[in-house]
Structure 1
Amino acid sequence: MRSISELQSLADFWGIITGGGGHVGQAAAAALMELGANVVLWDRSKAALDIASANLAEYKNQLYTICCDLAIEEDIVKGVEQYREISSGRLNFLINNAAFVGTDNLTGWAVPFEQQSYDTFSKCIDVNLAAPFLLTKLCMPLFEITSTGCRSVVNISSIYGVVGPQMAMYEGTNLGNPAAYATSKAGLMQFTTWLSSVGAPNIRANNIVLGGIYRNQDEAFVEKYIQRVPLRRMATEEDIKGAVIFLCSELSNYMTGQSIVLDGGWTAI
């Protein structure tokens, strides 16, 4: 029987994190590389990737980047080919993390329902749901030829894929909770369930369901938010590390089609 240290080792593992230039993507990458993984960050912004590379410089021999706009099908196809060359075709984990979020400054986005834009709704579905579908599909042959370590898809969802928003929290702020975001995250969770069945036994597929992450939001919003959280705080990027390691390593070898909810208890009450 293997030890815990052997099961959690990611030495020689290879994987992709989309939205890799963001806070959550960088935290996930740092955790995985600390245990030995090679990580390829995907992001549409080269500037964001450059900043991430600088922030993660201690892992420079394990870190690679691909500039890719997940709203463009051809970019995703090219990105997979670039990844194949970088990793020599090995893939142990895919973390679908990139997403339009409720704070994005888009036309017809973080506004009252009657003002929300069909075009923006469609763009959100493309990035938050259609892109993970396409990327996962294109990565399946890479998973299938990877013979060592685990083969894991981790989709980053949200509490708003599970429950409805408390809109009173947003009153008097520039924040919002678009229908497109909730719809895309709920769809991503069901895609995970579907994939866990159809992709088995070649891959495992699980969700990480995130609550709100503190990023210097309006004080009134934060106070209203944490009053609904049993742990009385918003999440930090560090809170995701343990779940990412668990799902991307052999610690979770018999887990698929499930959700790890990191919300401080928001959905429990």
Structure 2
Amino acid sequence: MSALPTTPAFRLDGRRALVTGAGRGIGLAAATALAEAGAHVTLCARTASEIDEVASALRKKGFSADTLALDVTDVAAFRAAMEARGPYHAFVNNAGTNRPNSFTEVPVEDFDVVMNLNVRAAYFAAQSVARRMVSAGVSGSIINMSSQMGHVGGVNRSLYCASKWAMEGFSKAMALDLAASKIRVNTLCPTFIETPMTKPFFENPAFKESVLQKIKLGRLGTVEDLMGAIVFLASDASALMTGSSLVIDGGWTAD
């Protein structure tokens, strides 16, 4: 009999991870998951008090964390911060927003805000992280936080869909450009997750019911539903996965 194979490690000991939008919701969960897996985690967000609180809580549990307070839409500032720091091995490109509205009612101002953060800022944040990785000869994983709405349409979601379909496209092309540098790029595509950003939407009973009818498992997602997937994508457990999407949607896109 040949030797038994060894399961690749889900651990991230000795590696550095960066999470944007890390003060709350999915970003906070991503930072926690990566820290628990052994990574040193840098929490990035505009609001210093939020990420300071999370970093302190992580350190109290014996994990390694620091903070980077800046607005990712300031492309030059983010680029300078990456150039001044050591390279990261994992990047969760999570900062994003949503302004739901009927297609015929979307104002130019909302279009600019959503596309500026979800597409422009996300694109150039990934570029800055990747440049630093390439210059240092570091391989690793970039995880672009997309959505099930990057694969389907949705009522009152034309703007959000536009931003996430754009992310799906540039992520595939990024993966091709960075493959020679052994930098993997994938998207994580959740369904509706209960977070501070989505909480106001679910105060509308009709909307919540319409969402639950589409999620075949019959419940809203929680941030905990994404934590294992984030560690998987960041670790050697997904070593052959790039240019792809991990869809965690409770069956939404299955029909």
Normalising by structure 1, report the TM-score: 0.84
1:112 aligns with 2:92: no
* Shift of residue 10, structure 1, vs aligned partner: 0.5
Q: Which amino acid aligns with 2:209?
A: E
Q: Which moved more, 1:218-227 or 1:62-71?
A: 218-227
Distance 1:43 1:60 in 2: 22
Matched ranges for 1:23-102 at <5 A = 23-59=25-61, 61-82=63-84, 84=85, 89-101=86-98
Distance 1:47 1:63 in 2: 14
Counterpart for residue 144 of structure 2: 155
Counterpart for residue 123 of structure 2: 133
Give deviations 1:186-218, integer Å, cap 9, x for gaps. 100111100111111211100101100124422
* Shift of residue 39, structure 1, vs aligned partner: 0.7
- Over the matched positions of the two proteins, sequence identity in percent amounts to 30
Counterpart for residue 171 of structure 1: none
CA RMSD of aligned residues (A): 2.0
Structure 1 unaligned spans of 5+: 102-108, 168-176
Distance 1:145 1:119 in 2: 37
Normalising by structure 2, report the TM-score: 0.88
Q: Secondary structure at the match of 1:17?
A: strand
Counterpart for residue 180 of structure 1: 159
Counterpart for residue 133 of structure 2: 143
How many matched pairs?
Answer: 245
Q: Which amino acid aligns with 1:213?
A: I
Distance 2:223 2:58 in 1: 15
1:210 aligns with 2:200: no
* Shift of residue 54, structure 1, vs aligned partner: 4.2
Q: Secondary structure at the match of 1:233?
A: coil
Q: Which amino acid aligns with 1:221?
A: F
Say if 1:100 and 1:124, in contact at 8 Å, map to a contact too.
Answer: yes
Q: Which moved more, 1:180-189 or 1:212-221?
A: 212-221
Matched ranges for 1:187-202 at <5 A = 187-202=166-181
* Shift of residue 138, structure 1, vs aligned partner: 1.7
Counterpart for residue 236 of structure 2: 250
Structure 2 unaligned spans of 5+: none
Distance 2:70 2:16 in 1: 18
Q: Which moved more, 1:201-210 or 1:68-77?
A: 68-77
Counterpart for residue 226 of structure 1: 212
In structure 2, the CA distance between the partners of 1:205 and 1:38, relative to structure 1 (3 Å rule), is same
Q: Which amino acid aligns with 2:168?
A: M
Distance 1:184 1:267 in 2: 18
* Shift of residue 113, structure 1, vs aligned partner: 2.6
Distance 1:2 1:42 in 2: 38
Say if 2:35 and 2:64, in contact at 8 Å, map to a contact too.
Answer: yes
Q: Which moved more, 1:182-191 or 1:40-49?
A: 40-49
Distance 2:40 2:231 in 1: 13
Q: Which moved more, 1:45-54 or 1:124-133?
A: 45-54
Q: Secondary structure at the match of 1:8?
A: coil
Q: Which amino acid aligns with 2:225?
A: D
Distance 1:228 1:35 in 2: 33
Say if 1:95 and 1:156, in contact at 8 Å, map to a contact too.
Answer: yes
1:239 aligns with 2:225: yes
